[in-house]
Structure 1
Amino acid sequence: MKEQNKYHDNRVLNKKRLLTVALVAAMFNAPSISAQESLKLYNWGDYINPEVLTQFKAQTGIDVSVDTYTSNEEMLAKLQAGATGYDIVFPSVHMQDIMSHLGLLEKTHINQFSGFKHIDTHFLTAKSDPKGEYCLPYAWGTVGILYNKKQVKSLDSWQEFFNLPQQGKKIAMLDDMREVIGVGLIEHGKSVNSTRREDLKLAQEFILKQKPNVSSFTYDSAPLVQSGDIAAAQWYVGGMLYVFQTPDELDFVIPKEGATMYQENMCVLKSAPNKSNAKKFLEFFTQPEIAALNTKQQMNGSTNKDAIALLPDYIRDNPSINPPEQVRSKLQMFAELGKDIKLYDRVWTKIRTH
């Protein structure tokens, strides 16, 4: 009887040990399981097709949530102010360089993933990441003029844009330091990355001269152009989405003097709580079918060279979305200026407060 009791006690003890081991394992695995099921993106407003996220979840089981920002500066300021929980951000190239210098980005080695072969290496434009070891080139486009054809029959230059108020028509510009000053520099044949004080003075004087005729500096001008409250606005090529919806009412043009070209890249934050899931998303997005799916909704250029053939003709062959070489040669992309950005800060302060 004693032997039976001893055997019974040992079985009970072993069960308790196994239960304890299971509970400890569950405690350690719980955060991992939770992390595998979630991913948080911090992106420009409406810059990712919800269907892309739906397909990602279908393939991986990972839930994706999205917060949005309206400018590179807003995104960086929020992160520097202590915002946590974000896994992936989508900075423009010059902001990627800034974030890299600040030590905010994770090295993902996405360039070693097999799907990276679909990426056009011409878009490896970040000075801090020339090989694509950190971020995935995501999308590119231009900042030109969206206009209402009921108010403006045709438009092809910045000069015509700024002349509209003289005809009793309203215009708007972006509430964006680099974009607005960039127009002033382009109008004088200067680089949008110039740090020459005389160049910036010319740009400042030009924009200040136009300012009384600019109805507003805002990121929300597209609906105003659609409604006809504003005749034309400095805006992104994504406005082609509205042009295709109402081609008799709206149009988008890259001004003949030149314009800025933007490129957003997909980067994993060093503070990302779900790094593994974030890397899976970068790998997922290298698929031409997924990149094309996003481009179909966003109306911008794709950095995925094999996605272009999958686009419908009206997008692939549109000169505003995929401009010919003679137009692209006049496009300029912002660079990270280091301490010289203070020169732009002063000009912008003068413009906004004058």
Structure 2
Amino acid sequence: MALAVVVAPAAAEGRLNLYNWGDYINPEVLQRFSEEFDVEVTLDTYGTNEEMLAKIQAGATGYDIVFPSVWMHDVMFNLGLLAKTGIGSHPDFKNIDQTFIRAKTDPQAEYCLPYAWGSVGIVYNKKVVDTPIKGWADLFAVAEAGKKVILLDDPRETIGIGHIMNGTSVNSVDEEEVVKATDYIIERIGDVSAFTYDSIPLVQSGDVAAAHWYVGANIFVSQMPDILEYVIPEEGATIYQEDMCVLESAPNRENAIKFLEFYLRPEIAALNVAQQMNGTPNIPALELIPEEIANNETIYPPQEVMERLQIFHDLGEDIRLYAREWRRLKTAAQ
């Protein structure tokens, strides 16, 4: 369910409407922009790339900025949904690590701004598991031992575990490889308690031993360090990245571009990291973030760990193969 948040100074003259992942931007960032530029900012939230795209395609023309994952950035570009902003030519774009210009359709960052990134791993309750979880094999061993575990309700992330364990690419479009990756999960499906995004409260309470989740779990780990732990699986994992994009249909395009430029400021990117506990592509911002975040290797992994992380690509029509296998997996789970 989307949550609407409104941030506005008294008698604001301008408007800016954001559509972002749930709880994925520090409200103080919005407040500062609102006050500096005399703009009323509204925020609606979504849970998946597909949900966001469906709403935009269904005619939701009131939004100015969306935050698609890199592969969805490519999809939306090809559908003609993104506005050219020229953000890559802004003088402050020098702050952005070029490694994070990942969208194949936007190699010069003429459309979107790299926003945030992180790993997708495992969060677990240290009071419930008998030994520390280090990887996917450990997660399924915990499940096999009779303790509850949860996987994400996401076709590519969950089938991706099968790819990682089989040594194949999470972007494979080889039918045999995708089937085998799905089979890996189906063979263990009887030990999986649920497929959902809403797992953190269950892990916190101990009702669930461990869950497949995002690096943002560190927010909860910091609140309950004696109980919770987040790990990047030793066998490998996926890495996500979201970009900040202005819609071609944006009713407040000028304010939207101002917001992209505002977010280039190191102190603003750092402010977001301090609350979200994920990675930022903004190089100078790294000097401004809290030391406990900068030194947390699950948030900023060493190079040898980064090399084991895979990012999803737009698969075009081949995504139907994953949709078919996801249906087979979910049927097996019933």
**When the two structures are superposed, what TM-score results if normalisation uses the length of structure 1?**
0.89
Q: 1:133 aligns with which of 110, 121, 141?
A: 110
Displacement, 1:321?
A: 0.2
Which of 299, 312, 324 is 2:290 aligned to? 312
How far is 1:166 from its partner? 2.3
Q: Give SS of 1:99's match.
A: helix
Q: 8 Å contact 2:12–2:38 — kept in the other structure?
A: no
2:158 to 177, 180, 189: 180
Distance 2:135 2:23 in 1: 28
The structure whose residues are more often helix, as a share, is 1
Number of positions where the alignment pairs a residue of Structure 1 with one of Structure 2: 321
* 1:268 matches 2:246: yes
CA RMSD of aligned residues (A): 1.1
1:307-349 per-residue CA deviation (whole Å, 9 max, x = no partner) reads 0011111100101000000100000000001111111111111
- Measured against aligned partners, the alpha-carbon deviations of 1:199-234 in whole angstroms (never above 9, x if no partner) come to 111111111112111111111101111111111000
Equivalence for 1:300:
278
Task: Choose which of 98, 123, 127 in structure 2 pairs with 1:121.
Answer: 98
Q: Find the counterpart in structure 1 of residue 53 from structure 2.
A: 76
> Which has the higher Rg, Structure 1 or Structure 2?
1
Q: Deviations over 1:145-165 (max 9, x none)?
A: 000011124110100101112
Cα deviation 1:86-145 (Å, max 9, x = unaligned): 000000000000000000000000011121111111100000001100000000001000
5+ residue gaps, structure 1:
1-33
* Kept after mapping to 2: 8 A contact 1:35/1:273: no
Q: Distance in 2 between matches of 1:57 and 1:114?
A: 23
Deviates more, 1:39-48 or 1:158-167: 158-167
1:106 maps to a residue whose letter is: A
Q: What displacement does 1:35 show? A: 9.7
Contact 1:36 1:274 (C-alpha < 8 Å) held by counterparts: no
Q: 1:96 aligns with which of 63, 73, 81?
A: 73
Equivalent in the alignment of 1:352: 330
Helix, strand or coil for the counterpart of 1:307? helix
Alignment check: 8 A CA contact 1:36 1:277 kept: no
Give 2:232's aligned residue. 254
TM-score, with normalisation over the residues of structure 2?
0.94
Indicate which of 265, 279, 282 corresponds to 2:257. Answer: 279
Whole-angstrom distance in 1 between the partners of 2:252 and 2:68: 19
- For the Cα contact (< 8 Å) 2:162–2:181, is it kept in 1? yes
Percent identity of the aligned residues? Answer: 57
The answer to whether the 8 Å contact 1:115/1:286 transfers is yes
User: How many angstroms apart in 1 are the aligned matches of 2:151 and 2:175?
Assistant: 23
- 1:31: which partner in 2? none
